[in-house]
Chains A and B, each alone.
Chain A
Amino acid sequence: MRDLKNHQPSVDAPTKWMRVRVSLIGFAFVAVLCGIFARAVNLQIHQRDRLQGMARDQYLRDLEIPARRGDIFDRRGTPLAQSVDVDSIWVDPSLFENARDTAKKLSAILGVDQKELLERFTRGRRFAWVKRQVTQTEVEKVKALNLPGFGFAKEPRRFYPQRELAAHVIGLVGTDAHGLDGLELSFEDELSGDTARRASVRDARGRKVLTNGVEDPLSRQGAAVTLTIDRHLQYAAEKALLKAVDDARAVAGMAVVLDPRTGEVLALANAPRFNPNAPQGATADHFRNRAVTDAFEPGSTFKAFVVARALEDKLITEKSTFDCEKGRMAIGKHVIHDTHPSGVLDVRGILQVSSNICAAKIGQKLGRERLVENYQQFGFAERYGLGLPGEAKGVIPFPRAEISLATQSFGQGLTASPLQAAAAFGALANRGVLMKPYLVSKVVDADGLTLLENKPTELRRVVSEKTARTVVEMLESVVEKGGTAPRARMDAYRVSGKTGTAQKADPVARGYSDKHFASFVGMVPAEDPRVVIAIFIDEPKTDIYGGLVAAPAFKEIAEVAMPHLAVPPSRVVPVVEVAAAPKKPEPPVKSPVVAAIERLDELHEADEGSVRVPDLKGQPARAAVTQALTVALEPRLVGSGRVVAQTPAAGTLVEKGARITLELAGNLPSVTR
């Protein structure tokens, strides 16, 4: 080895200290490489999600389009809220010859601020929105300009085909398509679905370069929500309620229609109402879903529950009598009054004339604990979880004072919502069993997966079947002659119900004001109730009594509901004039009325306040009338049989509420199909 080295130009092998130093340098490099590897682990494992998200943001950011919002349907599948595709206009400003000039032209057509447009065009990006959700005419006009660089994108927009109908239940969305109120708010997550990324990846210059098979966002859809609401009954309820509120010059009104056997809410109406397609100008007053969110002193309707409990507990019998003190009774330093001063009355009579004094006496028999417990049994001071924002709970305070026990026996000094009142009457109607009220029957996502399904739920037996039947039967007297609500009486169906005329508490004077809250809660037909209808009128001015103000609305709704639900009449009514009422009961499912309504869905309603006249020719009278009513036309019948002529003609655009004259002929007995 030594001789080998001697041949080399440089002598002396590396010394030991040199070897140590060289090795040190080598180790230092390896150590640094290990440090670099540790950093790579940190970036690629620990920080991966954050960095990947940021990277994804930059090549997909502008292209994020939310899924098409899910639809909301009524119980028969009629859309109440839909997403429709509308055009949005965008541009690639780099293709403009003169951005200022283009901005000026567009501003003139679309009414967008010229300066703002120019600012958007000169941001240096190759994509800028001009105007979103435009009309077809605007698109045509822009296309007619024939300028380079324009693009038209389809974007889903929320549309409420039934406009005001059930607006408080459905709610509405804001401009960014997020729910603001109602079910649109409470089912936001389900309806909005997953936000999709655009189908293309873009490079740093904004051009589409790769298509990676991401599904088309417009084909993605949020979950569909199906309600228990029956569009037809909802329409009838809103119409009757608006009329009642109008007639009474009241501040507001609420109506709840539910099926006592299942707890399904068939209609939930509020007045005043709003059009969710054009909510501009509507105030908080219009948006409030009072039937669910407001709790107030209900008044005499609560006497029914007091009587039911007293009967159930065998404290009284049907035959018990009470002295109603001729309309005046002192309790301590307070005096309670009756509207109709009476002498001795039996239980039926107490309900019929709605005696506060006798109700107080029955309440005294029950006692404080039992009274409060009873109300709680009937579902008061408890939220049902309907799925709407801000559901009211109501308060049943413990009645310490003697006077409180008395007033709470006739529904003052405690609060309840219209929904709770309807549900509690539902318990009486459903033979003593309280059903849980529900509004949303099904939520199904785009893949057909059921996210939520509500089925009829028995909450508890409140009173025995015998007691419930007895009370319902007693309440029939309310609508008979001598009762407080003869206006709720129907010819063909037995009606059972209770009026309420509550004094509103004055928050300032700490007493009761001269403002009232009129109500009527009833069920029909009394022998086997199919619907419970609760009507509440806030601060009526013309009359204050529930029997006068609220009962007619009840009757109006019931008269639509009974044939619609194909309920056989309780008694045979002599046919007077029109052969509209069929002799035979309708087949239980899918009546011609339903078919007519379903056909209606194809009709497109035009501008607000006007409707297109449907073609009613050849239809049986009843179907024609229903159909006319559904599109807010007032039908007038001439003759009998099937429709042979109509004025105005089909397809004409007329104002809502206009009259349509239908000529009927061929009075054939075969009107049923």
Chain B
Amino acid sequence: MNDARRATIAYDPVLLAAIFGLVGFGLVMVYSSSAITAQDKLGDGFFFLKRQAFAAALGLVAMAVSMKLGYRRMARLAYPLLVIAVILLIAVLIPGIGTKVGGAKRWIRFPGVSIQPAEIAKVAWVVYLSYSLAKKREKVQHFSIGFLPHLGLAGFLVVLCMLEPDFGSSVALLFLMFVMLFAAGAKLSWLVGSVLLAIPFAYTAIATSEYRMKRITAFLDPWANRQGSGYQVAESLMSIGSGGTTGLGLGDGRQKLFFLPEAHTDFIFAIIGEELGLIGVAALIGLYGIVIWRGVRAALNAPEPFGTYLGLGVTALIGFQAVVNMSVAMGLVPTKGLTLPFISYGGSSLIVLMGAAGLLLSISGASDGGKTRARAVKVSRAELSMGGAEVAA
């Protein structure tokens, strides 16, 4: 029975379909939102589409590999991954290695590809936390064992991110930690207390940085700062509003005509809203809803705590970025600089997230056969009858 399970890759088809749906949706929207800019700047309207398609292909490989390896192997990779992430986060800060774009050093550029260490760090952080929490089990409820070391490590990673600076990723790292500690049974008083303690630091971080302060004022009243700090948000709101119920039609959006900067990356949601309307937005939110539903379900059905933590962590990573990105585009939270998972243009983000999705699929397939609709890819007759026996049991 165990041999049979190892030989096949079991997964949740609903989850897989939702992820493929998001990636496909993303490719279409990256092309629609970038074609004019690409034609204008690079002389090739397909430039961004080609690169994103290539990244999606690599992402597919990453996904297949993590499914094939199975999530359990990640427990052993927890420390190496974390070390690699830290090295990359430090490397990106070194002049000559990190590339500065728009005032922030967030990329390490190799010939042909550039990687964003923060994207890798987020997944490495989720894997490490899952491993650590699963290992410590009941001890998590001890302040000095379950809470303090994680908080310390998180602080270290956050400091590295803030040096880039990358406020959005910092918030994501902290959020993931809180979610997972909460699931592991950490006392609510610690979590609330540390959030309260963090407020003065967050305030300082915002108040001492001009661009973060501007983002806050832009968020509070985008129309008052329409030509300045509120420009992006105001343009984004206009795009989404213009779409109405059915949208202007794919490719017919007007705001991507240079009015909306980063139309194909952080603000791609605005173009979706403009071109596909409320129907497109509803479809997108629905796909994320499915991913969260099936992700949480996989976590709940995981056979051991590590799977539960990892499933929850990956789901939370995808859900958090999606929620924050859409909220930013609609003026609900200040600008963060987080991508729309699987949709936004950006190779590192797509490959890493698809790899993480592979882990989630692997968890979905590893759970108790009677409780999930896990399917085997290569099913022999014997396995089929065995599977039937399991269901019957």
- Please, how many angstroms separate the alpha-carbon atoms of A1 and B368 in the complex? 8
A204 engages B259 (CB within 8 Å) = yes
Question: Given A48-B244, A203-B259, is A26 in contact with B302 using a C-beta cutoff of 8 Å?
Answer: no
A41 engages B242 (CB within 8 Å) = no
A48 engages B241 (CB within 8 Å) = yes
A5 engages B303 (CB within 8 Å) = yes
- Please, how many angstroms separate the alpha-carbon atoms of A77 and B289 in the complex? 69
Which chain A residue shows the least CB distance to B326?
Answer: A36
A204 engages B258 (CB within 8 Å) = yes
Which chain A residue shows the least CB distance to B134?
Answer: A10
Which residues of chain B are within 8 angstroms of A284 by Cβ–Cβ distance? none
Which chain B residue shows the least CB distance to A44?
Answer: B278
Which residues of chain B are within 8 angstroms of A40 by Cβ–Cβ distance? 240, 273, 278, 281-282, 285, 330
Whether, in the assembled complex, B104 has its beta carbon less than 8 Å from a beta carbon of chain A, the answer is no
Which residues of chain A are within 8 angstroms of B185 by Cβ–Cβ distance? 17-18, 21
Question: Given A36-B326, A37-B281, A40-B330, is A204 in contact with B257 using a C-beta cutoff of 8 Å?
Answer: yes
Whether, in the assembled complex, A650 has its beta carbon less than 8 Å from a beta carbon of chain B, the answer is no
**A42-91 contacts to B (CB < 8 Å):** 43-45, 47-48, 50-52, 54-56, 58-59
A7 engages B2 (CB within 8 Å) = yes
B interface residue count range (under 10 / 10 to 19 / 20 to 34 / 35 or more): 35 or more
Kindly supply a per-residue 1/0 record for chain B positions 301-327, scoring 1 wherever the CB is within 8 Å of any chain A CB and 0 otherwise: 011111010001001100100010011
- Cross-chain contact of A14 among B255, B305, B327, B330 (Cβ < 8 A): B305
A203 engages B72 (CB within 8 Å) = no
B308 engages A14 (CB within 8 Å) = yes
Nearest Cβ distance between residue A398 and chain B, in whole angstroms?
61
- Cross-chain contact of B241 among A51, A204, A205 (Cβ < 8 A): A51
Nearest Cβ distance between residue B318 and chain A, in whole angstroms?
10
B273 engages A44 (CB within 8 Å) = yes
Nearest Cβ distance between residue B38 and chain A, in whole angstroms?
14
- Cross-chain contact of A43 among B72, B137, B299, B330 (Cβ < 8 A): B330
**B227-255 contacts to A (CB < 8 Å):** 237-245, 254-255
Whether, in the assembled complex, B379 has its beta carbon less than 8 Å from a beta carbon of chain A, the answer is no
- Please, how many angstroms separate the alpha-carbon atoms of A51 and B244 in the complex? 10
Question: Given A25-B183, A30-B289, A43-B240, is A36 in contact with B323 using a C-beta cutoff of 8 Å?
Answer: yes
- Please, how many angstroms separate the alpha-carbon atoms of A30 and B316 in the complex? 11
Whether, in the assembled complex, A449 has its beta carbon less than 8 Å from a beta carbon of chain B, the answer is no
Whether, in the assembled complex, B58 has its beta carbon less than 8 Å from a beta carbon of chain A, the answer is no
A22 engages B299 (CB within 8 Å) = yes
Question: Given A14-B300, A14-B308, A51-B242, is A25 in contact with B179 using a C-beta cutoff of 8 Å?
Answer: yes
Nearest Cβ distance between residue B198 and chain A, in whole angstroms?
20
Whether, in the assembled complex, B332 has its beta carbon less than 8 Å from a beta carbon of chain A, the answer is yes
Main secondary structure of the interface of B (DSSP, over half): helix
**B99-123 contacts to A (CB < 8 Å):** none
Whether, in the assembled complex, B296 has its beta carbon less than 8 Å from a beta carbon of chain A, the answer is yes
Whether, in the assembled complex, A105 has its beta carbon less than 8 Å from a beta carbon of chain B, the answer is no
Kindly supply a per-residue 1/0 record for chain B positions 77-113, scoring 1 wherever the CB is within 8 Å of any chain A CB and 0 otherwise: 0000000000000000000000000000000000000
B306 engages A33 (CB within 8 Å) = no
A36 engages B330 (CB within 8 Å) = yes
Residue among A30, A32, A56 with the most chain B CB within 10 A?
A32
- Please, how many angstroms separate the alpha-carbon atoms of A30 and B297 in the complex? 13
Question: Given A44-B243, A44-B245, is A8 in contact with B304 using a C-beta cutoff of 8 Å?
Answer: yes
Question: Given A14-B300, A59-B257, is A21 in contact with B240 using a C-beta cutoff of 8 Å?
Answer: no
Which chain A residue shows the least CB distance to B304?
Answer: A10
Which residues of chain B are within 8 angstroms of A18 by Cβ–Cβ distance? 183-185, 305, 308
Nearest Cβ distance between residue B6 and chain A, in whole angstroms?
10
Nearest Cβ distance between residue A659 and chain B, in whole angstroms?
66
Which residues of chain B are within 8 angstroms of A25 by Cβ–Cβ distance? 179, 182-183, 296, 312, 316
B300 engages A43 (CB within 8 Å) = no
Which chain B residue shows the least CB distance to A50?
Answer: B241
Which residues of chain B are within 8 angstroms of A577 by Cβ–Cβ distance? none
A11 engages B278 (CB within 8 Å) = no
Which residues of chain A are within 8 angstroms of B182 by Cβ–Cβ distance? 21, 25
- Cross-chain contact of B319 among A21, A29, A202 (Cβ < 8 A): A29
- Please, how many angstroms separate the alpha-carbon atoms of A430 and B259 in the complex? 69
Kindly supply a per-residue 1/0 record for chain B positions 155-185, scoring 1 wherever the CB is within 8 Å of any chain A CB and 0 otherwise: 0000000000000000000000001001111
Residue among B36, B182, B243, B255 with the most chain A CB within 10 A?
B243
Which residues of chain A are within 8 angstroms of B281 by Cβ–Cβ distance? 37, 40, 44
A201 engages B257 (CB within 8 Å) = yes
B300 engages A22 (CB within 8 Å) = yes
Whether, in the assembled complex, B75 has its beta carbon less than 8 Å from a beta carbon of chain A, the answer is yes
- Please, how many angstroms separate the alpha-carbon atoms of A52 and B241 in the complex? 6
Whether, in the assembled complex, A9 has its beta carbon less than 8 Å from a beta carbon of chain B, the answer is yes
Pairs A–B under 8 Å by Cβ, sample size 7: A13-B303, A25-B312, A29-B316, A44-B240, A45-B244, A48-B244, A52-B238
The 3 residue pairs across chains A and B that have the minimum distance between CB atoms: A51-B241, A26-B296, A203-B257
Given A9-B75, A14-B305, output 8 extra A-B contacts at Cβ < 8 Å: A4-B303, A12-B305, A13-B305, A17-B185, A22-B296, A44-B273, A52-B241, A203-B258
